[in-house]
Structure 1
Amino acid sequence: MKKNEKLNQWLWKWHFIAGLISLPFIIILSITGAVYLFKADYEKPKQLHIKEVTIQGKPIPLQKQWEIANTNAQKKPNSMVLSTYKNQATQFVSGRFGGKSSLYINPYSGEVTGAITAKKTDMYKIRKLHGELLMGSFGTKIIELIASWMIVLIITGIYVWWPARGWNLKGLFIPRIKAGKRTFFRDFHAISGFWISGLLLLILAGGLPWTDVFGSNFKQVQKMTNTGYPVTWEGRQLKSKPSGEPMTLDQMVNTATALKLPGIVTLHFPKHPKATFSVSNLNPSDLNSQKKIHFDQYSGKQILINDWQDVGILMRGRMWVMAFHQGEFGNWNWWLLFFIAITLAVMSISALASYLLRKRKGSFGTPKIHSRFKVGYGVIIAIVVLGILFPLFGISIIALLIFEYVRVKRNKSIAVQSA
């Protein structure tokens, strides 16, 4: 690829400026992301006394356990997770997402072994630091802006790094060690950045659906194009036919167990006398196996089944990249994400080291661009498209243009006064 040297200088300038501003946030994102990957390992020993029990004879009916949970939970449970081992405490769940809390019942004694509230865990704080800098909605928008600029950093970084005078195979893998510290750190940043760029874009795609502006717009597009979950997925329009007494929880759990669904299976309780029981399974390692099945709460008859093929293509793509972002496809996914997170942190620090070594005292060291350079239509169109796709990035570009315009006008005014 023949490079436009003037464009290369211009892209290098903005890669430099954007990178310098984003650097502390990128380091926070990479470190907290790496730490959050250890969520299961960290929480398991701390929660073991709540989730595991001693087997003591025959378990009491699940219907009775449900009554105990309704009495002891701060908020009435809306679902339960089917146990897969005899020494598991029965998990009754209230709320959803960040507001989720679980009450655990000893199935043999009926004793409440404890409760786990998502918001009160250490890893929830790490997640909030990772996703919103512990600053709520405002912090989420900062992270979204940084994520948008990271996409630009990746694109501009590849162009700037791309060799203009042919390929040197050694330069694709090994930093120059004997050319000085600054060159070594620069090479390490560029080479590692090139090799993880594709995966990093995939990871960013998995994080963006959680953001405020882009995430909300994405959901709107799903709704407009009917490419999200089908309207029957939650079963709100479905109705049971009241006839005699509702099924007991034990009967419904037997029905759900007979389905032999893989992953974590959840039984959702009816919200009113005409609502349905619903069974769903969470199995990120094989999204195609996920289902949502609705049952009449009186007869136990299956009313409707939705499988993964009923889910719209945008939602399926979104769930795939989000699962990849969290390392839920198995050990290979976990180790790959951990490697990317550590590499991103080290390459960011190496970029800072290279900058500090080249920076002259009293100067920011901003790369110079040719005075006659004019941005081409192709670049303008690309920026506009990115600005529309990522609105916060678009707003930041407008702010930068205003700042640059004011700066140039001010410099001209000073030059005239000096003359």
Structure 2
Amino acid sequence: MSTITSAAPAENAASGVSLYRAIWRWHFFAGLLVVPFLLNLAITGSLYLFKNEINESVFAYRYDVVASGQPLAPEKLTEIATAAVPGSAVTSYKDPATPERSAIVTVSGNGGSTLVFIDPYSGKILDTVGSTEEFNYVVKRIHSLALFGGFPNKLIEIAGGFAMVLVVTGIYLWWPRRQTGGVVTVRGTPARRVFWRDLHAVTGAFAGILIFFLAITGMPWSGYWGSNVQAWLGSHGLGYPTQLWDDVPKSEKVTQDILPVVGWSVEQAPVPLSDLPAARSNKPIGLNRAVEIAKAAGLTPGFDLAMPSGEAGVYSAAIYPDDLAKERTIHIDQYSGKPLVDISYGQYPIFGKAIEWGINVHQGREFGRANQFLMLATCLAIVLSCVTGVVMWWKRRPSGRVGVPPMPPRRSVYIGLWTIAAVYALAFPLTGLAILLMIAVDQAIIRTIPPLRRVFA
């Protein structure tokens, strides 16, 4: 009896040490791989949170105007825009958000797509900039790494998934185990490694939930997971109400193909077609009338309106404001002026609403300045976690070696981790596969090749 009693605590202790070391090793590898990506996400995300403030200060010369008299008609503004970019055609018109804002006309030609900023009162050209060169657009593309191609964009998706793993494993490693510091306080001074360890742990513990939130709400934009979830929700009527399209002919285009800004839930919604038989007895209503219809339908100022694409195309108007309740997309028959599809946030099914709300909070738009600064604080916490993690590792690592946390005494603990990784791979395939690959390399290559085992020790 005494032998069994004394062996049980030792066995439990060995199991606890094995699990702790395995998760520590996992946390280390995940952090080492994604630190550069997380820094990029945090820095560019911080900038994008204040895109409106950047436009109103740095680029005020092309956004701000003095209200004086009656503004020019939209069609007149588009004529001015096409004259400023010879050989171009209008693709969309942005209604001024306030009387003190410029109108923005997007034109396309051989040189690509161009934004033309116009004083709606005088018709003066305030600026022209390529659509893909606009500052906030570039920041957003760097944020997702889409600026550098499809593969880097997939890496950001993997990094977002790893961020969730880092939060969960980090909280496990932080969880109090009879230590007197490093839970809510920071010990030592910057000269000591324990200072950086505690600062890393306490920052992650307090900001972990928000970091996890940013990671999960950023996934809808990802190239693989986001597009597949979007397609699945759409095909099951959970992302947007597909029944609204039942009685109208649909084109091959989707809403995000034609509008500069559109809600996530309706990005893949098909664009309807105008009634061609009715076209024989009606002339196109024109941009002026389409803008009037959009305003009469209740779209708030600042909406984008895309021009019809071809003879059967429609006018498509959309507004994606800070107030989600006012989010709206309307497709208007270019001949009759009849709204063919009119969809608002209130009509989204529960999953569509939840994802849109998460995206709005992620972008700092849902509850004013508090939202912006809360997300900014989270981004700064990510930067601090990355910096403290790297400094802590650098101070801890043995000279000439990577300094990977030691292997767990019991390798059987990896059976559980493999199972967790396999389940995670079902939810987030790219990240899950990367985790499985990470564990496989650790177990089948680093552990079995002596030179690598020494370097990574």
TM-score (norm 1): 0.84
Given candidates 189, 210, 214, the residue that maps to 1:199 is: 210
Query: What CA distance in whole angstroms lies between the structure 2 residues aligned with 1:195 and 1:82?
Result: 42
Structure 1 runs (4+) deviating above 6 angstroms are none
Residues 37-52 of structure 1 aligned to structure 2 (within 5 Å): 37-52=49-64
Query: What CA distance in whole angstroms lies between the structure 2 residues aligned with 1:205 and 1:162?
Result: 23
Query: What CA distance in whole angstroms lies between the structure 2 residues aligned with 1:177 and 1:117?
Result: 52
Residues 279-294 of structure 1 aligned to structure 2 (within 5 Å): 279-283=317-321, 285-294=322-331
Q: Secondary structure at the match of 2:240?
A: coil
| C-alpha displacement of 1:12 | 0.9
| C-alpha displacement of 1:133 | 8.0
Query: What CA distance in whole angstroms lies between the structure 1 residues aligned with 2:169 and 2:76?
Result: 62
| C-alpha displacement of 1:203 | 0.5
- Corresponding position of 2:429: 391
- Corresponding position of 2:33: 21
Query: What CA distance in whole angstroms lies between the structure 2 residues aligned with 1:398 and 1:84?
Result: 49
Letter of the aligned partner of 2:303 in structure 1? Answer: V
Query: What CA distance in whole angstroms lies between the structure 1 residues aligned with 2:138 and 2:334?
Result: 38
- Corresponding position of 1:380: 418
> Conserved in 2, the CA contact under 8 Å of 1:239 and 1:276?
no
Query: What CA distance in whole angstroms lies between the structure 1 residues aligned with 2:331 and 2:142?
Result: 37
Q: Secondary structure at the match of 2:89?
A: coil
> Conserved in 1, the CA contact under 8 Å of 2:97 and 2:301?
no
Q: Does 1:173 align with 2:210?
A: no
Letter of the aligned partner of 2:357 in structure 1? Answer: W
TM-score (norm 2): 0.77
- Corresponding position of 1:239: 275
Residues 213-228 of structure 1 aligned to structure 2 (within 5 Å): 213-228=224-239
> Conserved in 2, the CA contact under 8 Å of 1:291 and 1:305?
yes
| C-alpha displacement of 1:157 | 0.9
| C-alpha displacement of 1:100 | 6.3
Q: CA 1:172 to 1:295, structure 2 compared with 1: closer, same or farther past 3 Å?
A: same
> Conserved in 1, the CA contact under 8 Å of 2:160 and 2:216?
no
- Corresponding position of 1:77: 90
Query: What CA distance in whole angstroms lies between the structure 2 residues aligned with 1:248 and 1:128?
Result: 34
Given candidates 297, 306, 312, the residue that maps to 1:268 is: 306
Q: Secondary structure at the match of 1:93?
A: strand
Q: Secondary structure at the match of 1:305?
A: strand
Kindly report the root-mean-square deviation, in angstroms, between the aligned alpha carbons of the 2 structures.
Answer: 3.2
Q: State the identity as a percent.
A: 27
> Conserved in 1, the CA contact under 8 Å of 2:96 and 2:301?
no
Q: Does 1:360 align with 2:398?
A: yes
> Conserved in 2, the CA contact under 8 Å of 1:266 and 1:279?
yes
Given candidates 164, 179, 182, the residue that maps to 1:151 is: 164
Q: Does 1:6 align with 2:43?
A: no
- Corresponding position of 2:375: 337
Query: What CA distance in whole angstroms lies between the structure 2 residues aligned with 1:403 and 1:359?
Result: 18
Given candidates 286, 299, 311, the residue that maps to 2:348 is: 311
> Conserved in 2, the CA contact under 8 Å of 1:267 and 1:280?
yes
Task: Count residues in correspondence.
Answer: 406
Given candidates 35, 42, 59, the residue that maps to 1:30 is: 42
Given candidates 311, 317, 337, the residue that maps to 1:300 is: 337
- Corresponding position of 1:208: 219
| C-alpha displacement of 1:303 | 4.1
Q: Deviations over 1:294-335 (max 9, x none)?
A: 444344344442222433444333332222222122211110
Gaps of 5+ in 2: 1-12, 246-268
Letter of the aligned partner of 2:213 in structure 1? Answer: L
Gaps of 5+ in 1: 415-419
Query: What CA distance in whole angstroms lies between the structure 2 residues aligned with 1:27 and 1:203?
Result: 13
